[in-house]
Amino acid sequence: MNHLNLLRVSREQFYRETTEAVNGYREAGIPLRSFAYPFGFSEPWMRETLTDTFAIQRGFGVRYRIYNRQTLEAGYIVSMSIDNITYKTDEEFEAAVAMMLRTLKFTGGDSLIALTSHAIADNADWGISPRRLEYLFRTARELDLRFYRFGDF
């Protein structure tokens, strides 16, 4: 609820911020299926606790990882930030995305890369510019790759 560093809160507050907080959304008809740990920080007991509440739990990183279906079904992945703050220039972003997506294409059809951004915005550090997002979509389409939402799993 409050984007707290969950490593620094009591277990009681952890439950309020996670499992208790999701109930209101679900009662309102919003089927939250994935959980992103604030700042990407978690401990094994947290992941175990949230296994029954969320199908997918996400850490946060600045390097990409290639996952297969079996790994994804385990329920915890680290999602790579593609926020503006991660890449200084559009050229750096484009080179990284091209390499990631070509590597993914090479690995075959049952693999994925988890990518995340906080917003779509030109000047937000914690967001991706529309131009960069369009490049990502265009490059994926050229490579015949598909996009999924975390809730699709």
pLDDT digits (tens, 9 = 90+) for 15-53: 999 988 888 888 999 988 889 999 999 999 999 999 989
Q: What is the pTM of this model?
A: 0.81
* 82 contact partners, CB below 8 Å, separation of at least 6: 93, 97, 115, 116, 117, 128, 132, 136
| Residues paired with 80 in a beta bridge | 61, 115
How many CA atoms within 13 Å lie on the side-chain side of 8?
A: 6
Question: How open is the CA angle 57-58-63, to the nearest 5 degrees?
Answer: 155
pLDDT 10s digits, 97-145: 999 999 999 987 788 899 999 999 998 999 999 999 999 999 999 999 9
* 15 contact partners, CB below 8 Å, separation of at least 6: 49
For residues 127, 129, 130, 133, the Cα torsion angle rounded to the nearest 10 degrees is -80
What pLDDT was estimated at residue 7? 95
What pLDDT was estimated at residue 149? 80
Of 153, 96, 152, residue with least CA distance to 128: 96
CB atoms within 10 A of CB 65: 14
pLDDT 10s digits, 96-109: 999 999 999 998 77
